[in-house]
Structure 1
Amino acid sequence: MKKILLLFCCTWCLLITGWSQDVKQLLQKGEELEAGLKDETAYQQYLKVLELQPNNHTALYKASILADRLGNRLSDKEQRNRYYRTAYKYASKALQLYPQSADAHFAMSVSLGRVALMSSGKELVESVKKIKYHADRGIQLNPTDFRPYHVLGRWYYEISNLGSFKRGAVKLFYGAFPDASFELSAKAYEKSLSLNPSFILNYLELARTYDQLDQRTRAIEMLKKLQYLPAKMEDDQRIKEEGKKLLQKLSA
């Protein structure tokens, strides 16, 4: 009996070791594919990790971020929302299992931004409130991470750019209109840019914010810099094209 138990334990240990090695290789491959601008294939790698280790921290938040990214590229609303719901599911699980993870809070802040697009009324406002909470929490946990500062920049921008009807709805559910301005948006984007000068989307969003602040010269400066930056993410070429069109418009 002891020999059988020992054999079973040895076999189980070998299986666990094999799975751990597989997971490590899959995670490494996923990161390589992301760097190679192949988000869909990278996403599939992280899903394979979750088949082996459903609670894997890296795979959960990476799958959430990539599902959001992939969904955002789709024109079909139903398919797009399906990706967004999947992203929210993975972000929620990551946050439940790892509440002190800055990555999990960042993933949730991004996912809630997508959820807000599918929502209205009180649910919309609740999502908006939670976006800022998770971005702020991500900064508290990792002040050197550029990503939550970018989320804050977008949050301040969108709140400041709301129409009168939506501003009224936000004020109703908040109790008072939140402290938001294009100045705060620019400050958050500038902080994100200082932490990661190679993140292309910061340049485009900062240019848009400067334009709102009637700082056209600074906006044009950002857009010119944008054109010379190498693509680091799959969406970067599209972002550069948007920047080129905005540059032409502001330079006219």
Structure 2
Amino acid sequence: MKKIRIFSTAIFLLAALFVQYAAAQNLPLLFKQATNAEINLNEQQALDIYKKILVIAPDNLNALVKATELSCSTGERLPIANDKRITFQSALAYAQRAVATHPEAAESYYALALASAKMTEVEKDRKLLVQYVKDIKTNADKALNINPNLGMANFVEGRWHYEMNNLNWAKKLALKTMYPGGIPPTSYDSAIVYLEKCRQTQPYYVMNYLILAKSYQANNNPSKAIEVLKQLVKLPVRTPDDAALKTEGQKMLDSLE
């Protein structure tokens, strides 16, 4: 009886290992399907596939980062505030898992900075809001300390500098009084440095061009803003948001020319 029990256990373990092996063999196909879904502008489908990948490989860095990014972008389009918040919280959870399992990777901290930025859009508690604002820069800094050429980390850092410098005086005062140690120095010049670096490594990222153009305009350099906007309107549509961003860029360009 004991031998039968041991044999049954061995068979069960072998079957489980076979299932795990078979699932792992499907990972390249699933990644390809997710990429194709993104190319076809179906981000929700891509996100669902990355979730499947994370069931098979919970610590896969690429899948964790992509799940973070797509949770952020799909959540942004949700019309119901609570649904948006839940989706952004999912993005934050994926990013936190990326940092926990891959603390050596710049992409992990970029993902956490991105998710923290999205949480600032839905967080109502002032102390938590300030903490998320701080977390954006803290984690973007960590990402860039590991890899200064990580394009999307440069974008998050650059946008943080732009938005901090673009706050009205009342919001700046509120942040200054609650931000531990005071708000780090910001300027449109610093925003431009980071955003230009993103443009070098992410030449098709439409949102970066728009924030860069706004930074140049705010920095009293309309000729550079026009130059960036002329490039923006010629970019291909690669995400569901790009068409609207290009329309906004064209309107801005028309107002400057």
Is the shorter-chain TM-score for this pair beyond 0.5, marking a shared fold? Answer: yes
What do the CA deviations read for 1:8-34 (whole angstroms, capped 9, x no partner)? Answer: 454333222101012332122112222
Structure 2 match to 1:172: 177
Selected match of 1:21 from 25, 30, 34: 25
Gaps of 5+ in 2: none
Task: State how far apart, in whole Å, the 2-side matches of 1:5 and 1:78 are.
Answer: 46
Q: State the number of aligned residues.
A: 251
- Contact kept, 8 Å, 1:31 with 1:42, in 2: the verdict is yes
Say yes or no: does 1:130 pair with 2:142.
no
Larger deviation, residues 118-127 vs 161-170: 118-127
Task: State how far apart, in whole Å, the 1-side matches of 2:208 and 2:9 are.
Answer: 58
Deviation at 1:4, TM superposition (A): 5.4
Deviation at 1:128, TM superposition (A): 1.1
Task: State how far apart, in whole Å, the 2-side matches of 1:187 and 1:53 are.
Answer: 37
- Contact kept, 8 Å, 1:121 with 1:169, in 2: the verdict is no
- Contact kept, 8 Å, 2:213 with 2:224, in 1: the verdict is yes
- Contact kept, 8 Å, 2:232 with 2:249, in 1: the verdict is yes
Q: Give the 5 Å matches for 1:88-127.
A: 88-119=92-123, 120-127=125-132
Structure 2 match to 1:161: 166
Task: State how far apart, in whole Å, the 1-side matches of 2:190 and 2:184 are.
Answer: 12
- Contact kept, 8 Å, 2:149 with 2:197, in 1: the verdict is no
Match of 2:236, SS state, is coil
Identity level (%): 31
Read off the aligned partner of 1:49 and give its amino acid letter: I
Change (3 A) 1:9 1:176: closer
Read off the aligned partner of 1:221 and give its amino acid letter: E
Structure 2 match to 1:232: 238
Task: State how far apart, in whole Å, the 2-side matches of 1:218 and 1:127 are.
Answer: 32
Task: State how far apart, in whole Å, the 2-side matches of 1:177 and 1:52 are.
Answer: 42
Task: State how far apart, in whole Å, the 1-side matches of 2:11 and 2:158 are.
Answer: 57
Task: State how far apart, in whole Å, the 2-side matches of 1:229 and 1:124 are.
Answer: 34
**TM-score (norm: length of structure 1):** 0.92
Say yes or no: does 1:44 pair with 2:48.
yes
Say yes or no: does 1:151 pair with 2:156.
yes
Match of 2:184, SS state, is coil
What do the CA deviations read for 1:31-90 (whole angstroms, capped 9, x no partner)? Answer: 222233221110110111223333333222211110110011223222211211111111
Change (3 A) 1:6 1:117: closer
Task: State how far apart, in whole Å, the 2-side matches of 1:3 and 1:167 are.
Answer: 69
- Contact kept, 8 Å, 1:149 with 1:192, in 2: the verdict is yes
Change (3 A) 1:35 1:140: farther
Deviation at 1:5, TM superposition (A): 6.1
Structure 2 match to 1:185: 191
Gaps of 5+ in 1: none
Read off the aligned partner of 2:250 and give its amino acid letter: K
Task: State how far apart, in whole Å, the 2-side matches of 1:91 and 1:61 are.
Answer: 7
Structure 2 match to 1:250: 256
Match of 2:26, SS state, is helix
- Contact kept, 8 Å, 1:171 with 1:178, in 2: the verdict is no
**TM-score (norm: length of structure 2):** 0.90
Structure 2 match to 1:77: 81
